[in-house]
Structure formats: structure tokens, C-alpha cells
Structure 1
Amino acid sequence: MNIPTIQAPKAAQKVITIIHLALLAGQVLFGIIAVAVLHPAAGNRQNDKVFTYLVPLIAIVAVAISMFLFTQLIKKAIAQPTLQAKMTAYQTALIACYAPLEGASLFGIVAYIITGNLLYLLVSALLIARFVTIRPTVAKTGEDLKLSYDEQQELTETPAMVK
């Protein structure tokens, strides 16, 4: 029988940080590869007309969806009875927040590869900048989850050594 393991709050915070960093690194590395290695098509104007409207629109919608999902899921996380449950729900909320931003950013990079238009790379860079600003920190976690003093202490303290 598989018993689900519940992460300690501090370990859950570390997992959230690693997930954020991995998603961020994927976007940045894909952008670098697109610029340095792939040599995008220059002047594919037929596709460029479509992407001129599509890339910014998808970026704006992604930011709105990201904020909406986070707001809705954070309400559920705050209502959880234990810190472990709050951290699990918070992790879900953050992943749901990150997904639309990452998808729109990757779409912009792909549009750049197809057309060679730097505007799409700029849109992706702005989305990546937004992604950086929502980096999970212990202080932000406490603020988002409206943690009590004791819960914040539990989130930051290192477990006592067993003798």
C-alpha cells in the first residue's frame, strides 16, 4: 500500500523554489539556443502578420489567467487546516500560476524562430521578467498564505537534531 508522504514545510518551500528555477532556466536556455544556435528564418512575412497580433495577445491573456488562477487557488490554500496542507496547496497554486506564463513565453520564442522578428523575443523576455518577479521566497510564502507567527517559524526553522 502506498502511503503519500507529506513534506515538511521547509522542504516544501525548497521544492517550490527548485520548480521555479527549473521552469525559469528552461525558458532562458531555450531563448539563448534560439538566438545563438538556431538562426531563425529571416523575414518570413506571411507568418509574421499572424504572429504580430497573436504573440502579444497570448502574452496578455497568459498574465491574466496566471493571476486569476493564483488568486483562486491561494484562497483554497489559506483555508487549509495545517501548514503542510497549506504548502501543498500553495505549490499547486504556484504551478498553475507559472504554467500560462511559461507557455506564452515559449510560444513567443517559437514565433521568433519561425519569423526572425525580435519583437516576439522581447515579449518572451517581458514574460520571463514577470516570471522572475514572482519568485517564491519564505517571506512571500508567509505573506501569500497569511501564516501565523508560529507557522512562519515552522517554515523557517531547522529541525532539531536527534540525539
Structure 2
Amino acid sequence: MKKVIIESTIFVYKNKEALPEDVSSLMQKAIEARTKAYAPYSNFQVGAALLLDSGEIITGNNQENASYPSGLCAERTAIYYAGSQFPKAKIMKMALTAGSEKKESNEPVPPCGACRQAIAEYEIKQKSPIEIYFMGKTGKVVKSNSLANLLPLVFEKSML
């Protein structure tokens, strides 16, 4: 048996105001998207904003459904829209914000497993990393230079 250590590096900002101006602006778009989420069952709203290499900003939010598996997360809503409308564009940065309508949400909320896999697919497709910034409704913001820091053992097409 061989022991393998996997390390990830993330960066933590004190709050949204500590972010570089372009990222703070992108996060503001994610916050605006979060307020439009359709989350009547969980009362947990998520907003995403993507910066494409063209300068275009795409937003998305979670869309719930009484048949839970039929809903879609904010990250995938935005990514799939970008993929369908701008198929040759690269996603450079992603800003995420999430929180409950019923309680204080100041801890950073990372993408769920399904969204991590979807983000991984786009990093592989575009052959370049996507900077990911995530936060709660307020408080600290976490930055990862690539999805690989959040999902180091990615499942990808070469395994099929």
C-alpha cells in the first residue's frame, strides 16, 4: 500500500469588500441573482455569476420543484446557459452566494457535488481553470484558483 496525500489551496477574504474590484462586482451580480431564486421548499437561495473571456457576465439562480430532483442549482443554471449560448467562450471566474431565508447565513457555501462535477467538465472542455469565489449571504469569501482544489479526484471522459 502507498499513502498519497492530496492537498488543496484556497484563499479567504474577510468579506466582499476585501475582494478585487472586478470580483466584487461579479459577486454583486451573484447576489442580485440570488434574490431572484425560486426556492419555496428549502428557502435556501443561491446565486451565481460567471465572467466569460468575452467580458460577458452570465447569471443563474437555483430553481426548485416539488419533485426535488427536477430542480436545478444556480451554478449549473448559469454554466449550461453559457454553454448553450456561448459554446466557444471560456468561463474565467465564477462567483457564488448562498443562504437561508430563515436564518443568518455568513459561512461560505461551496458548490454541491453535482455542480462540482459540472464545473469540472467545463474546466476540462476549455483546457483552463475557472477561479471560483463563494460566500454565504454575508461574511468571508473563499477563493479557489480551480475546481481541482474542491474536487481533486475528478471523474472525466477519459475514464469512460
Q: Identify whether the pair has TM-score above 0.5, normalized to the shorter chain.
A: no
The answer to which structure, 1 or 2, has the higher relative contact order (CA under 8 A, 6+ apart) is: 1
Higher share in helix = 1
TM-score (norm 2): 0.23
TM-score (norm 1): 0.23
Higher share in strand = 2
